[in-house]
Every structure is written in structure tokens, then in C-alpha cells.
């Protein structure tokens, strides 16, 4: 079986992931919206980085299951190098069962048959991460064994201080170059032993036993998450709030698998409610929940935002991954027992949505008694709008800070039920409390899908498609605030 760069990185993360990917790919969950978005962002960032190498040549051929295009890519790489190319994009190398495709290789100097090369990886992150070093070490091992003399390695990542001026991106300012030659060289000796272990995993007749943990979501959700968690104990220690990967491993090494088995002296303040609910069978809801809700003032506004955090900023004056809110929904309870009202906003034009977002939201919440949200996201987004000088954002943020209640924080600190399984997401909580809200009514299922739908709506020239996407976005955001309102009514009897 061939070991590509992605296979190697999977194996470093989890040997079970590597085995299942090779032997039982059918057990993976369907590709998620966040996974598609992550791939698309990386692809777009890579294209923008090409501007830094104006004399480069792109290698022909994309990977396909039958290997034909791989053969073409390897052949094209060899031909380009033989012809004296100075810089190649997506150069491909293979040695034995190893295959690597390099974002950029740039000739440093000509030395006859052993020219010196600069190996460059482009990432959509805003800093160098440990896994990037492992990634480059694998590439260098493959490329070097294929005959490429790599003398320098670097990572090009997004510069989070870059402010887009509109129009085309300034690639020289958009990216930060960081040389990592020493780090990569220090990592290279570990590559061959790791590959030996991974070959053993792939050749095995049975799947390795690997305990679930934080690695299942780090750096992103594993495609086999649902499969591996199907029989997870309802009080698994991974469900303790903010438990570290290191602590989980330590507890598991001591034979501790469930929350109730963890000694009280090792429980943090933030974990106590969860632990006590399991160990001591204390009531799932602490009185602090009702104390917090006693202060609700009418009219009660249940508010939710949708915002973009794009790797490549869309609007002048914005930075990579800056929050740009484009939509809000608000369900309003004017007085006890009153039928709810509803207002919403969705920016449908191609212009920067922030000014209209603030103006319309202020008109909605300026007379609110309490603004109920279900995360810290809204506060962070409003703070960012105020910092960036959006007209009216200072007043809106100040009003929000003095009138808001984050129900998520209240429940996470004072409520736990085994049905939560370590998650205090709005959908999980209302399902556990018996408030069935049908998200199936919406074509959009999560925030990442909402961002993808919004960007598609802006790009589409088909009016029917735009109209359908707009309605789907409004429906999705409205379901969240209707759900929040139902939860408030259940807990506070309003």
C-alpha cells in the first residue's frame, strides 16, 4: 500500500485512523461542510501563494485512484527537472511505497548533478504548527531519496496582520515566510521508524485498539469519529469539561475510564458540576441556573449571529480570519406569556455587510431588557466591529455588554446530564431536555454550511438559486433563535 503525505500524517495522529482509512474507508462519515470548507480554503490560499513565484511551472497531473495521473505527475516532474526548471509547483516524488507532492521547490544554486533546492510548504494557518514540521520532514525524506538535494525548508503561512486594501491581494504582504530547516532536520531521523510502524499497522489483519480522546477532534474532527464513539461509555472521562489530552492519557494509564472513577482531588472547579452529577448523583440543574434567569428583563431578545472567518479576506479593511458577521436572527418575548415576535437580517449584496449589520441590529435590540445568546461568539464579533470603527458599533457593543446573558456559560457551569455526552451545544441540550427542534427542516445544518451557502449566494448569477439560498439561510438562523427561546421558556417559565 502506498503511503502518501496525508496517510503519513494520519498515522502520526492515530494508528486506528490510518488502518481504517486503508482497509475500511466505508466506515467514515460523509464529508462534512467544515471539511469541504477547509479543503477549499487551503486550495485558494495555495493559488494566491503562486504569485510569489512568477517564474514557476506547474507540474501536470492530479492524484487518481488508478494511479495514471500520479504516473503523469512523476514523469512531468522528472522531465521538468531534467530540462533545468528553476521553480516547480506541485512537484511529485516517489520512492518505493512513499509518495509526496510538494507545494513549491525552488532552485537555490546550480551544482551540476546535485543542485541545491528550497522546499516550501504553503499553509492557510497564521503560524507554524508542530504538525507542519512533520509534514515537511516526510516530504524532504521522499524528495531527497528520489534524488533532490534539499538544503533549505520553509513554511509560508498567512499573515494575520495583513489588511486587505481591496482588489487583488498583495501576496508579498499576505504571506509570512518562516524558515524551518533546523526543525525539519531534527525531525527527519524519526521519519523512518514511524514509517516502519505505519507499515506494520497497514499490514495487520486486525484494527489496532486506540482509546478515544482529544486527538479525535485535533486538529479537526476525524472522519471515523462516529464509528469509534458508537459504544463510548456515557460517562467517559473525555466528557469532562476542558480535560487535556495529557490528563486523559494519564488517567487511562491508571485504568480510569469513567468520570465517576476520577478522584475528587483531581477535579478542577470547571469540572466539578459534571463530576458531582455523575459521582454523587446531585441534581442535573444547580440553583445558580434559576438565579441567573431570575434577572431576565422584558422584552427578552434571543439572538444569534452568523459570521465569516475567511482565510482570504473579502472586503477592504479586513484581515485573514477576521470575524465578518453577515446575518442575525432574533426572537422576542415582549412580556410574560406573549406570543413571540421575530426579526432578522441577511446582507444579500456584494458589499461589506458590517455597517448594515450594525445599523439593523441596533434598531432591533436598543430597547431590549435582556439579550440572551448561547455562546461568547456574539460578544467577540461585536467587540471586533467596535475595534474596527464600524459606525454605531461602540454604542451597540456597550449596550450588549450591559444587557446580555450567555446561557451557554450559565448551563456549562451549573448543569450536566449524561445525555450531553460532554457537549453543551444548543441542539444537544434541548434534545436532552425533551424540546424536539427539527433541524431537518433546514437545508443548512451547521455554521460552516451557512458560510458556504452565503458565499455561494453572493457568487451565483442564478436568481432562483440565490432566492433559495437566502431562504435556507434565514430558516437555519431562525431555528437557532427559536430553539433558544424554547429553552429560555422551559427554564425560566416566561
Q: What is the pLDDT of residues 48-72, one digit of tens each?
A: 999 999 999 999 765 454 445 677 8
What's the pLDDT at 66? 47
Q: What is the pLDDT of residue 101?
A: 95
The predicted structure's pLDDT at residue 69: 61
Mean of the per-residue pLDDT values for the chain?
A: 93
Contact 473, 306 (CB under 8 A): yes
What pLDDT score does 114 carry? 66
Residue 26: cis peptide before it, omega within 30 degrees of 0: no
Task: Tell me how far CA of residue 323 lies from CA of 303, 315, 485, in angstroms.
Answer: 17, 11, 25
pLDDT in tens, 70-119: 778 999 999 999 999 999 999 999 999 999 999 999 999 765 556 899 99
Q: What is the per-residue pLDDT for 68?
A: 52
The yes-or-no verdict on residue 478 having pLDDT over 90 is yes
Q: What is the largest CA-CA distance in the chain?
A: 84
pLDDT at 113: 58
Least confident of 108-117, 179-188, 482-491: 108-117
pLDDT at residue 281, as a whole number: 77
Q: For residue 237, what is the DSSP state? A: G
Give pLDDT, residue 429.
93
How far apart CA 208 and CA 194 sit, in angstroms, is: 16
CB 484 within 8 A of CB 428: no
Other residues' Cβ atoms within 10 Å of the Cβ of residue 453:
20
Tens of pLDDT, residue by residue over 208-237, are 999 888 889 888 999 999 999 988 888 999
Is residue 170's pLDDT more than 50? Answer: yes
- Whether this prediction's pTM lies above 0.95 is answered by no
Mean pLDDT over 466-484 rounds to 95
Which cell numbers hold the place of 322? 477576521
Residue 440 has pLDDT above 90, yes or no: no
Given a cut of 70, is residue 368 above it in pLDDT? yes
The count of residues in the chain is 494
Amino acid at each position: 500500500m502506498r503511503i502518501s503525505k496525508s496517510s503519513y500524517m494520519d498515522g502520526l495522529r492515530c494508528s486506528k485512523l490510518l488502518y481504517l482509512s486503508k482497509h475500511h474507508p466505508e466506515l467514515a462519515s460523509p464529508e462534512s461542510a467544515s471539511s469541504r470548507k477547509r479543503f477549499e480554503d487551503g486550495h485558494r490560499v495555495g493559488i494566491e501563494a503562486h504569485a510569489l513565484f512568477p517564474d514557476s511551472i506547474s507540474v501536470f497531473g492530479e492524484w487518481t485512484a488508478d494511479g495514471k495521473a500520479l504516473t503523469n505527475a512523476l514523469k512531468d516532474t522528472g522531465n521538468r527537472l531534467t530540462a533545468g526548471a528553476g521553480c516547480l509547483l506541485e512537484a511529485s516524488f516517489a520512492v518505493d511505497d512513499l509518495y509526496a507532492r510538494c507545494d513549491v521547490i525552488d532552485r537555490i544554486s546550480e551544482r551540476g548533478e546535485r543542485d541545491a533546492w528550497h522546499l516550501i510548504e504553503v499553509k492557510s494557518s497564521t503560524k507554524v504548527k508542530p504538525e507542519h514540521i512533520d509534514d515537511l520532514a516526510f516530504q524532504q525524506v521522499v524528495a531527497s531519496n528520489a534524488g533532490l538535494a534539499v538544503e533549505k525548508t520553509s513554511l509560508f503561512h498567512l499573515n494575520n496582520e495583513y489588511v486587505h486594501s481591496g482588489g487583488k491581494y498583495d501576496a508579498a504582504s499576505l504571506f509570512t515566510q518562516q524558515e524551518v530547516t533546523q526543525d525539519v532536520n531534527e525531525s527527519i531521523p524519526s521519519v523512518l521508524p514511524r514509517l516502519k510502524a505505519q507499515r506494520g499497522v497497514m499490514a495487520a489483519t486486525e484494527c489496532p485498539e486506540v482509546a478515544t480522546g482529544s486527538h479525535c477532534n485535533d486538529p479537526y474532527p476525524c472522519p471515523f469519529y462516529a464509528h469509534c464513539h458508537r459504544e463510548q461509555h456515557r460517562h467517559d472521562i473525555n466528557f469532562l469539561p476542558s480535560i487535556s489530552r495529557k490528563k486523559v492519557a494519564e488517567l487511562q494509564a491508571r485504568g480510569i475510564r469513567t468520570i465517576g472513577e476520577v478522584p475528587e482531588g483531581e477535579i478542577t472547579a470547571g469540572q466539578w458540576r459534571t463530576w458531582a452529577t455523575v459521582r454523587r448523583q446531585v441534581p442535573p440543574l444547580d440553583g445558580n441556573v434559576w438565579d441567573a434567569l431570575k434577572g431576565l428583563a422584558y422584552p427578552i431578545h434571543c439572538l444569534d449571529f452568523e459570521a465569516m472567518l475567511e482565510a482570504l479576506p473579502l472586503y477592504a479593511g479586513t484581515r485573514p480570519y477576521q470575524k465578518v458577521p453577515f446575518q442575525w436572527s432574533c426572537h422576542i418575548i415582549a412580556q410574560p406569556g406573549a406570543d413571540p415576535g421575530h426579526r432578522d437580517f441577511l446582507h444579500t449584496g456584494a458589499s461589506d455587510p458590517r455597517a448594515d449589520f450594525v445599523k439593523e441590529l441596533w434598531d432591533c435590540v436598543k430597547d431590549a431588557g435582556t439579550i440572551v445568546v448561547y455562546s461568547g461568539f456574539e460578544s467577540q464579533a461585536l467587540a471586533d466591529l467596535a475595534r474596527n470603527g464600524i459606525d454605531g458599533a461602540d454604542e451597540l457593543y456597550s449596550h450588549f455588554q450591559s444587557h446580555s446573558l450567555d446561557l451557554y456559560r450559565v448551563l456549562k457551569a451549573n448543569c450536566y446530564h449524561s445525555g450531553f455526552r460532554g457537549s453543551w451545544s444548543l441542539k444537544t441540550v434541548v434534545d436532552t431536555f425533551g424540546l424536539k427542534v427539527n433541524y431537518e427542516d433546514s437545508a443548512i445544518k451547521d455554521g460552516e454550511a451557512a458560510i458556504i451557502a452565503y458565499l455561494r449566494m453572493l457568487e451565483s448569477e442564478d436568481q432562483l438559486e440565490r432566492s433559495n439560498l437566502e431562504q435556507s439561510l434565514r430558516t437555519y438562523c431562525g431555528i437557532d433563535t427559536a430553539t433558544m427561546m424554547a429553552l429560555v421558556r422551559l427554564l425560566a417559565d416566561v
